Structure 1
């Protein structure tokens, strides 16, 4: 019986997305051109940006057969911060790969009640620490880019589009 429990534990750990949540160590990551906009009928503002890196995220995404990208940030005073990166539209210019992305700051994952730029400025007491996560329905998620910092100042200076 003990052997069955051990074997079952090993098999289940292989199915656990957190058990294989590996990290890549990309360097020279920059979040640029932070803007925000508001869409009628939607709660809160949408923050858009370009993620610039020396690494070809599109190639890694395609070769790993990933199905989604998430842009996740540490929660801010009980708010949920989430978005995505568009690696399929990645562009190479001057040796740098640039992917567009967005995020929203909402009360919960349903994203029904979200906040605007001014509210976010008031809530931020320190930098938001964000990461890019690749994943798929039948595979473990993997943190591809970690420690992307978004400062209160960059939120304040973001332009409306």
Structure 2
């Protein structure tokens, strides 16, 4: 009896979730601006900060779909894991563009205990980093909001210390 109840419940819950298929929104007009880096005492490696600029209101999408997290993920570089987050809830509208702040770190694994600095990242990069914005929550599948956000070795090299 419990098994049937769980099956029916899971069918009902999946029917209530319009994003169960891990749809892609894929906004094309997203640009990464103002890349900087900083170092915090007690933390390994540098934190890279940026602004994400788009014509679309990402916060509206985030709120309407009851998402709980907004990750910034990039393809791994050699044996390093690249991950961060976007603050869409703090999004600002200026001159018809929506701007959200974000950050990422480059680390040996997801625990983020051993991470690298700007100079090490420059040496590792052989091509552009390809990144994406992913929204999600515990009760629904994650959704790729934008992909193919490129960060070049030149952009990393030109990033300023803050």
TM-score (norm. length: structure 1): 0.89
Measure the CA separation in 1 of the matches of 2:60 and 2:36: 27
SS at match of 1:74: strand
The residue number in structure 1 matching 2:73 is 72
Q: Does the 8 Å CA contact 1:24/1:144 hold for their aligned counterparts?
A: yes
Measure the CA separation in 2 of the matches of 1:113 and 1:30: 29
Q: Unaligned regions of 5+ residues in structure 2, if any?
A: 1-6, 15-19
Calculate the aligned-residue CA RMSD, in Å: 2.0
Measure the CA separation in 2 of the matches of 1:27 and 1:54: 9
Measure the CA separation in 2 of the matches of 1:62 and 1:128: 29
Q: Unaligned regions of 5+ residues in structure 1, if any?
A: 1-6
How far 1:97 moved relative to its partner? 0.2
Q: What are the Cα deviations for residues 55-112 of structure 1, in whole angstroms up to 9, with x where unaligned? A: 0000000000000010000000010000000001000000000000000000000000
Measure the CA separation in 1 of the matches of 2:22 and 2:140: 10
Q: Does the 8 Å CA contact 2:26/2:144 hold for their aligned counterparts?
A: no
How far 1:20 moved relative to its partner? 1.9
- Paired residues, what number? 151
The residue number in structure 1 matching 2:131 is 130
Measure the CA separation in 1 of the matches of 2:41 and 2:26: 39
